[in-house]
Amino acid sequence: MPIVRTVSNKAESMIMPAKSSLISDAIQSQLPDGYSIRKLQLEDYDKGLLSNLAQLSTVGDASKAAFEEMFNYMQAHSDTYYPMVVEELATGNIVGSGTVFIERKFLHGCGKAAHIEDVVVSSSMRGKSLGKHIIETLKNISKESGCYKVILDCAEHNVAFYEKCGFSMKGSQMACYFDH
């Protein structure tokens, strides 16, 4: 699918895959009835996004103002950050989410690599293949953005899930945390 380049003098200028290619019709049609996958919206703060993310890791103090600042940053860099959510249509609640960000590299002919982060499905919604659909959407965005690879880190107990989604083990994860 083509890349759409919308250019204006406004902060919301975007260089990203065409909206139609963000979520393929095939993925959307395979979702269970009553669920939709879409880009993150500012209103998702009030729809349970952070409580859902808290099932994955520490969210910390994320006020509505801090959320809005981060949201606006991601929007201003919408050719890099693609936060996606699964909404339960009956309640309007966010029951799943994941983000892919695009890294520009000097390797592979100044290519791009995608990184999948923060994939989580609400514990009460697991078993409906929502996580699989989030991953497929993020992989599709990566491919349509021209990335030569997409990578992620996961807990040992999630390896089998990601292998079912087409990933394979490569290397080891390392981390160095800082006090803030």
Answer whether residue 128 shows pLDDT above 50. Answer: yes
Residue with the bigger pLDDT between 34 and 173: it is 34
Where do the domains of the chain lie? 25-164
Name the amino acid, one letter, at 116. Answer: I
Residue 62 CB neighbour total at 10 angstroms: 14
Q: From CA 126, how far away is CA 130, in angstroms rounded?
A: 7
Q: pLDDT per residue over 136-180, tens digit each?
A: 999 999 999 999 999 999 999 999 999 999 999 998 889 999 987
Question: Using an 8 Å Cβ cutoff, are 93 and 86 in contact?
Answer: no
Question: Using an 8 Å Cβ cutoff, are 165 and 133 in contact?
Answer: no
DSSP string of 38-89?
EE--GGGGGGTHHHHHTTTS------HHHHHHHHHHHHHTTTTEEEEEEEET
CATH class of 25-164: alpha beta
Q: From CA 3, how far away is CA 95, in angstroms rounded?
A: 29
